Structure 1
Amino acid sequence: MNSPCHASSLARSCQSDVPADLCLANAQMVLPDRIVTGSVTIEKGVICDIAEGDRVLTGAIDCAGDLVLPGLVELHTDNVERHIEPRPKVDWPHLAALIAHDAELASTGITTVFDAMRVGSIHGGKGRYINYARKLADELLAARAEGLFKISHFLHLRAEICSETLLDELAAFGLEDRVGIVSLMDHTPGQRQFRDLARLKTYVAKKRGMNDMEFAEHVENLLRLQKSFGSKHEAGAVTEANRLGAVLASHDDTTSEHVATSAQNGVGFAEFPTALEAAKACRAHGIAVMMGAPNLIRGSSHSGNVAAEELAQADLLDIVSSDYVPSALLLSAFHLAQVWDDLPRAIATVTCNPAKAARLHDRGVLQHGFRGDVLRVRTVGQTPMLRGVWSQGNRIG
């Protein structure tokens, strides 16, 4: 892993406030390969010392044997969309929504987030999606520049292949936006995430309030869009991701053929492969596999796809995302620790592994010179309880 002085420009776009010094002592520190009793000291937002031993120096916080681990890194969350549209067709003021979203993530131990925003609109009917990403991104970037956030925020553009305006919407973004991730989304009915149309109907009917006729029209429209724009949009989104200097991610790969295409496109990590076959193909191609924390905690996919724990047991799980439940991210890591009997390995799926996948080389590990994003955690039974959250040494939770 590169040292912070070689961190990407993406990493340098984070908060720049100079915090007070911090020392967390008498802690069980979760290092990449072991857990040791000791202390971590942060100065000017950066870890300056890792020391073993249970001594508590004057001015240090006595963690009384609690775990101390790196702040969580979230690559894919629908949470910002939930805040800007808390109910279907209910638009919430964006700045207020962003601040609430930021505070919620901080309260769950997430100190770095890639906020997922859909690009690619569909006009007309109850299945419509409006173009909102450029405006929301402007507001997010302005809030970040003004230091309004507790945690680090970056952009994740979800490129919806099955849409009408994808390439025009992607073209509105430039290098100055420092887009971190572009993911290739294809929600065409009958394949990938929604191979089972009955499950799609249940999901869409509840979310969009469609009757049977409206759902049938929606499916027909999506199939038409895929036929008209699918190949062009996929190739164009790959080109745009390269232009923006973003990490490219696939979404809902199901077959080895899907993964072969992803590898050809230069995909760095796979979001939520839906079948064991796809996860195995990802491993063969050197593509990191990300699964959802809700899937892991619930023991199954709400769409009827492969269970995250099945992939974990097959040694095919690298990264976990909170997806649509922010508080599930920390909980999922401790669940994985039971599956693997290896807490450092489990913590890596929500810290250093996602940081590496997103090309952030200054965080995700308790190590000298890395960002002072740290958590204090106590376990009650098998449940992790946050007792402190710090971003660059500043207490935020």
Structure 2
Amino acid sequence: MKHRYQFYWILWGFGELSGLGQWLLLRWALPIPAGWLLLMMLVLPFVYLVPNILARHLPLVMTRCLARIGGYWFVYGYYATILLVPAFIVWLICLLHPFGLTLAWWHGVFAVFYGRGMLLVILMLLFIGARRARHPIVHSVQLTTTKPIERDFSVAFASDIHLGAVLGAPFARKLRDDLMALQPDLVLLGGDLIDGNLEYVLWDKSFAGFDGLKAPWGVYAVFGNHDTYGLDLRKEQHRLFSYGIRCLRGQTARLAAGVTLTGMEDYMIAPHAEFPQLDEEDFHIVMEHEPLRIEQAASRGASLYFAGHTHAGQFWPNRMVTRRIFALDYGAAFFGSLLAIVSSGYGAWGQLFRLGPAPEIVLVHVKRQAQTRRTGGSPI
């Protein structure tokens, strides 16, 4: 928890610096007294900080309100900071007075129009991203197998739910209803069920939104890095089990004749954890939070792999980074005979906001066939 608080204090520090930079630009663009504008820019980072470090000491309604305001501020500040860079490059150029451009021109012309344009662009992004994050899709994939499974079956996978001050019981109920509408044989939850504050989730009774979630072959989950921030995985596991969700922590469950499931411990908890021995005759499903052991799962003979964690970047242009970190950061691809699926997630971190791939539930239809399709790692 100490490191988690340090993370939010660091974000607060960057937010204050960004707010000062925004003030230096926007005081020329907005008809607001400079003193009041500076105060607003310096106070908003606190609105983000307070509910993330003092949630257990504040009334529930206040925490929820501040968290949602602070979440949108974070998105705003993220893009405002990016857009400040060209503004201050122009400011530095004006210090050299090229082509008659002076600081007076920067203050009186450039800062006015650029600052107003920057705010308009960010408002448009906030609207688009907030709307996109509230409309999850179902991504359907079909997989054929020569494994001796007793019948065709379907798997619904959702990851990165991030229950907390921003997303509570109503969000969990919506996920439950969306999953149940698909009528899968198996439901899998791929980690980061909470955003990091287990006490708040239990106080808010967010897990109650999962009540009634069930499937013929069961509902299984693994833990993610944000679950570890809650400090008590055993308590979270016990509470989830009371709603019919079984958490796998390096264990294997037999689902049906010829079908097994292994839920790996998160890489943050057990970076050197190895897969158990797999029966070559079984159709074996592997689930973990971070998509770091795809090749290992393929080498062990697994047939289907699920992970999340990346959010497919969530905020543009973050996916340019996740694509370089992971062998597969989003989508579905074959690695030998293993179909690997990395989901963009159902929820969101920080605020319900997305630019890029939409939030999703992945529904995989596994069918028996004489020959398994192989594409050698190309996307499908």
TM-score by length of 2: 0.35
Larger fraction in helix: 2
- The structure number with the bigger radius of gyration is 2
With structure 1 as the length reference, what TM-score do the two structures score? 0.34
Instruction: Using CA pairs under 8 Å that are at least 6 residues apart, name the structure with larger relative contact order, 1 or 2.
Output: 1
| Bigger strand share | 1
